[in-house]
A and B are shown apart, each in its own frame.
Chain A
Amino acid sequence: MTTFSLSLLAALLVISVLAYLYRRNSMFVPSAVILAITAIVTLYSGESGAIVVARLIGIVIGSSVAAYFFRALLIVLLRGEAKKALQTAPLTAAFGMLVILLYSIAALFAPQIAPYGESEIVGSSYALADDKMILGGDQLGRDMFSRLIYGARNTVGLSIATTCLAFLMGTSLGLFAAIRGGWVDQLLGRMVDTVMAIPSLIFALLLLSIFGTSTLSLILVIAFIYTPLIFRLTRSVAGNIVVMDYIEAARLRGESTWYLMRKEILPNALAPLIAEFGLRFCFVFLLVAGLSFLGLGIQPPTADWGSMVRENATLISYGEYIPLIPAAAIALLTVSVNFVVDWMLYRSSGLKV
């Protein structure tokens, strides 16, 4: 037992006791649980365990504080409806927005932020972290940090492009089927059911084995696989709108199908579609990362988070954290998008579940 682990345990104990005395149940239970975990970890692996726990607590507190200030800043900057919405936003949603903003900055200004080029060889392979390369080198001696920054551009950019394409196809087909009805609707529905009966990763592997693993075929294949899901949602949302009187009125005016889709139905179906966009982006992003991890997605030397994990996986057997950073970057973005979408869904549903 060192002073560090003892003082950590003492601090936790004080917080728990204070929470108990002041009957703050929402504070007491988590702090007691953390105290118990810390005690077990410290007893088992000594000071190193205590440091890990302290770091984790620090990360959670730090991100909560960052999210709090970010929300306060947004409330000051914004006006009107957005301001009102943010005042009731949970910290998780603010944290999600902050992370998304940081990723966008990294992606947009990658060449300015990254100290080295995307595939520039800087040091020896698997070079240790030093002043020159703050996260060390990868298997070819390229700077890990620079590649992480460029990865934001490549992996996220590709996923957004794919999701947009899938939405373009899915919503237009869905709206078309809802307006036309009849056999067009039936036929599209049956086709979509069949495609959805194949698990997406398996279907992606099958199609990529046929069309090869270029970036273009990757985008087209994944967009094709996700189109049916978006079609389904659009079709069901639009199905409720098509029976409205104002659609009937527009039809009697003699408006074209294209006009009905774009001007009458789409604006009223937008809210659920935007939330769906966030969720689908997460799935597409995870699928792209998974395929890249399998060596079938974005191809080297393009920097990409999925393949970075695979290329440097050998380092894990030496107890290094570095290869996990790109994987953590993937997880962090997906969590953040989910946080924001959760909040949006909660707001739009108005349900207090």
Chain B
Amino acid sequence: MNDLVAIVVKRLGFGLVTLLAVSIIIFGAVELLPGDLAQAVLGQGATEETVRELRAQLGLDRSPPERYLAWLGGVFQGDFGQSLASKKDVASLIGPRFSNTLFLALYAAAIAVPLAMFLGIAAALYRNSWFDRATNVGTLTAISSPEFFVGYILILFLAIKNPWFPALSNVTPDMAFTERLNRLFLPAMTMVLVVTAHMMRMTRAAIINLLASPYIEMARLKGVPQYKVIVKHALPNAWAPIINVVALNLAYLITGVVLVEVVFVYPGIGQLLVDSVTKRDFPVVQACCLIFAATYILLNLAADVGAIVSNPRLRHRK
């Protein structure tokens, strides 16, 4: 047991170091701007005086490491600085949008995860059948389509030609839960289609890999019924790859959300990120990137830890 804890703690520590390194990259990238931040914001035509003023206001007179520590300290207290475009607090811009994005991602995940697991296991069990081949071509097509293509097809057929669902996902904070689910149905379905395809293929590969191992063949040869082979022999070893697949795809969902939010004009953090990139509003871009990257790293970390904890060979070590 102690070995297991040691491995998990080591992995967590490694994740924390990665997170810090990524925050340095995100902060440091802005330092690469030709000239500096104040110059970039004000443009070439600005007078020396206004540039100096903005520089003082942004704290650019301090050295980069000093500013990084101040920025990181602020982030830990939920203070991401001030937006350059709207002069508002970045945290207050991100807060409501972050919960919107989270809601959309969870909505999609709640449908996609069970669906993909079911389809993936079925495709693995009936591999090389017509079902397996059809899902193979179907999922390959879904993976290869850009998210905006899937989104617009759904809009065209389920919102315009047949007005069943709203094409735009404008939500307000005081909206009822069911109304919100209805408004978000199409963006959630877009992500479900793309993510299910990925997740299903990975589940299928993981299960097939497992079913090919000698101890499964042994179980079959000694006459254990099919369902028992799966439940008693395959499943305990399948948890690690399955957890891995789910976490990796949730991480993928986090990036996919950016394009989907733009297609459906949904007020989430991805939409904010794209707007801020266009406006070159660096504090907001940095904050959004940090949030996306942190979620991504945490989910990957969860995948690793889940795989370690659920591995019977590590749990019952002699």
Closest to B24 in A: A194
Closest A-chain residue to B21, C-beta based?
A: A194
Quick check: which of A3-11, A268-276, A331-339 contacts chain B, the rest being far away? A331-339
User: Chain A residues near B254 (CB, 8 Å)?
Assistant: 199
Q: Which of A25-33, A125-133, A161-169 contacts B (4 or more CB under 8 A)?
A: A25-33
The answer to whether B258 and A202 have CB atoms under 8 Å apart is yes
The answer to whether B176 has its CB under 8 Å from any CB of chain A is: no
Least CB distance from A208 to B in Å reads 6
Q: From the candidates B149, B212, B251, B285, name the one contacting A205 in the complex (CB within 8 A).
A: B285
Closest to A286 in B: B146
Q: Which residue of B lies closest to A198 (CB)?
A: B293
Chain B minimum-CB-distance residue to A318? B160
B221 adjacent to chain A (CB < 8 Å): no
Whether A294 and B274, one on each chain, are in contact in the complex, defined by CB atoms closer than 8 angstroms, is: yes
Partner of A294, one of B143, B149, B259, B292: B259
Candidate in B254, B277, B285 with the most chain A CB atoms within 10 angstroms: B277
User: Which A residue sits closest to B252, measured CB to CB?
Assistant: A199
CB pair A194–B259 under 8 Å, yes or no, is: no
Which residues of chain A are near B277, meaning CB under 8 Å?
Answer: 205-206, 208-209, 294, 296
Contacts of B143 in A (CB 8 A): 338
- Other-chain contact of A282, B18, B144, B152, B255 (Cβ < 8 Å): B144
Asked if A2 lies at the interface with its beta carbon under 8 angstroms from chain B, I say no
B1 CB–A CB distance under 8 Å: no
Q: Which residues of B contact A327 (CB under 8 A)?
A: 145-146, 148-149, 152
Q: Which A residues lie within 8 Å of B19 (CB)? A: 197
Within 8 A of B (CB), among A187-225: 193-195, 197-203, 205-211
Q: How far is the CA of A293 from the CA of B140 in the complex (A)?
A: 22
Measured in the bound complex, the distance between the Cα atoms of B144 and A92 in whole Å is: 14
A-B contact count (CB 8 A): 144
Q: Are A324 and B152 neighbours in the complex by a CB distance under 8 Å?
A: yes
Known contacts A209-B277, A293-B146, A338-B143, A202 near B161 by CB under 8 Å:
no
**Residue of A whose beta carbon sits closest to that of B15:** A197
Residues of chain A with a CB closer than 8 A to B258's CB: 201-202, 205, 294
Cβ-neighbour of A201 out of B26, B149, B255, B280 (below 8 A) = B255
Q: Counting CB contacts under 8 A, is A157 at the interface?
A: no
Which stretch in B29-37, B49-57, B69-77, B114-122 binds the other chain? B29-37
Q: Per a CB cutoff under 8 Å, which of A197, A203, A324 touches B153?
A: A324
Q: Is A319's CB within 8 Å of the partner chain B?
A: yes
Proximity bits, B105-147, A CB within 8 Å = 1, else 0: 0000000000000000000000100110010010011011111
Is B289 engaged at the interface, CB distance under 8 Å to the other chain? Answer: yes
How many chain-B residues does the 8 Å CB contact rule pick out? 56
Taking a contact as CB atoms under 8 Å apart, the answer to whether A295 and B289 are in contact is no
Q: Which residues of B contact A310 (CB under 8 A)?
A: 148
Q: Are B18 and A194 in contact (CB under 8 A)?
A: yes
With both beta carbons as reference points, the residue of chain B lying nearest to A334 in the complex is identified as B144
B25 to chain A: which residues have CB within 8 Å? Answer: 194-195, 198
Which residues of A, 280-328, contact B by the 8 Å Cβ criterion? 282, 286, 289-290, 293-296, 306, 309-310, 313, 316-319, 321, 323-324, 327-328
Contact at A29–B146, with CB atoms within 8 Å? Answer: no
Q: A205-B273, A290-B259 are in contact. Are A309 and B140 (CB under 8 A)?
A: no
Contact of B167 with A by CB under 8 A = yes
User: What is the bound-complex CA distance between A286 and B145, given in angstroms?
Assistant: 8
CB distance from B132 to the nearest CB of A (A): 10
Known: A45-B162, A197-B293, A200-B255. A210 touches B156 (CB 8 A): no
Contact with A along B226-266 (1 / 0, CB 8 A): 00000000000000000000000001001100110010000
Tell me how far the C-beta of A152 lies from the nearest C-beta in chain B, rounded to whole angstroms: 16
Q: Cα distance A313–B151 when bound, in Å?
A: 11
Which A residues lie within 8 Å of B282 (CB)? Answer: 209-210
Q: Say yes or no: is B300 at the interface (Cβ < 8 Å to chain A).
A: yes
Taking the complex as formed, is B22 at the interface, i.e. its CB lies under 8 A from any CB of chain A?
yes
Contact B280 A209 (CB under 8 A): yes
Question: Nearest chain-B residue to A282 (Cβ)?
Answer: B144
B60 sits at the interface (CB 8 A) = no
Return 9 A-B CB contacts under 8 Å, by A number: A197-B296, A199-B292, A202-B296, A210-B29, A293-B259, A309-B152, A316-B160, A331-B144, A353-B208
> A residues near B, CB below 8 A?
25-26, 29-30, 45, 92, 193-195, 197-203, 205-211, 282, 286, 289-290, 293-296, 306, 309-310, 313, 316-319, 321, 323-324, 327-328, 330-331, 334-335, 338-339, 342, 353
Please give me the 9 A-B residue pairs with the lowest Cβ-Cβ distance, nearest first.
A334-B144, A327-B149, A331-B145, A209-B277, A199-B255, A335-B144, A194-B21, A202-B292, A198-B293
Known: A201-B255, A294-B274. 8 other contacts (CB 8 A): A26-B130, A199-B292, A205-B277, A209-B280, A209-B282, A310-B148, A327-B152, A338-B143
